Amino acid sequence: MNTSIIENIQHEMQDFFTSDSTGHDWYHIDRVWKNAKRIARYYPEANHLHIELAALLHDRYDRKLVPDASQARQEVQQLLLQQGVEKDFIFRILYTIDAVSFKNGANPVQARSIEDKIVQDADRLDALGAIGIARTFAYSGAHHRPIYQGEEANSPADTAIAHFYDKLLTLQEKLHTPEAKEIAKGRHQFMLNYLEQFYAEWHSQK
Ligand code: ADP
Ligand code: NI
């Protein structure tokens, strides 16, 4: 029964996130779902249905993606009710989703349960490494922002490279689970190497 709820929600999300060029396509959802399952394996005591549903639905009412976030949040509630999910359980899933979002590091809703923490870690892992770099440039391009403006740029420019410092390089230490931290290590180092190569090429030194 649980498998069919997960499959139904998976198909709903596949249909919803059909095409998006800002880094929020179905494949982002799919990777976050996979990351979450990968971490959850180490937590047999956690509620895995909760984790999988929150991972699948985590961007469904993001303010950046829908015109009316509170309406979209209600749609998620409806969707889960239709699947026969109990109200209390729905509220716990929605809490997890509310806690996941980054909001420039200023989200008032804190990750508290192990389910919240695993889904948040899973989402943050997808902002790191080669995939994270690709998503950053895709997002930046979609918002008509420059790649970089040189070290001499004195205005706090919203460039793709600035986003590494604003967010990407800060995520490693914000992760909750040791399993996610372990995965993040290689991805973090990859971004540092990337930046080093980027600056070297920028200055025609490599
Ligand atoms: P997520 O779905 O991982 O929580 P966001 O909705 O915050 O991510 O952003 C989607 C992707 O775009 C992420 O990979 C994020 O790092 C990137 N991104 C967000 N804001 C910016 C920005 N100002 N410049 C460049 N990339 C950004
Ligand atoms: Ni996400």
pLDDT in tens, the chain (206 residues): 578 999 999 999 999 988 665 557 899 999 999 999 999 999 999 999 999 999 999 999 998 888 899 999 999 999 999 999 999 999 999 999 999 975 656 778 899 999 999 999 999 999 999 999 999 999 999 899 999 999 877 666 789 999 999 999 999 999 999 999 999 999 999 999 999 999 999 999 98
Q: Whose CA is nearest to atom 7 of ligand 1?
A: 102
| 15, burial (CB in 10 Å: exposed 0-12, middle 13-18, buried 19+) | exposed
The pLDDT assigned to 101 comes to: 77
Residues with CB under 6 A from ligand 1: 23-24, 59, 64, 102, 123, 126-127, 132, 135-136, 139-140, 158, 160, 163, 167
Q: How far is CA 175 from the centre of its chain?
A: 12
Distance CA 198, CA 194 (A): 6
3-state secondary structure 61-77: CCCCCCCCHHHHHHHHH
Cα 104 to middle of ligand 1, angstroms: 10
Integer distance in angstroms from the first to the last C-alpha of the chain?
57
Q: Which residues of 164-194 are buried (b: 16+ CB within 10 A; e: fewer)?
A: beebbeebbebbbbebbbebbeebbeebeee
Q: Which atom of ligand 1 lies nearest, measured to the CA of 32? A: 3
What is the helix (H) or strand (E) element at residue 136, kind and residue range?
Answer: helix 129-142
Which of 27, 61, 102, 139 is the best mutation target for the ligand 1 pocket, counting ligand atoms within 8 Å of the beta carbon and taking the most?
A: 139
The pLDDT assigned to 21 comes to: 56
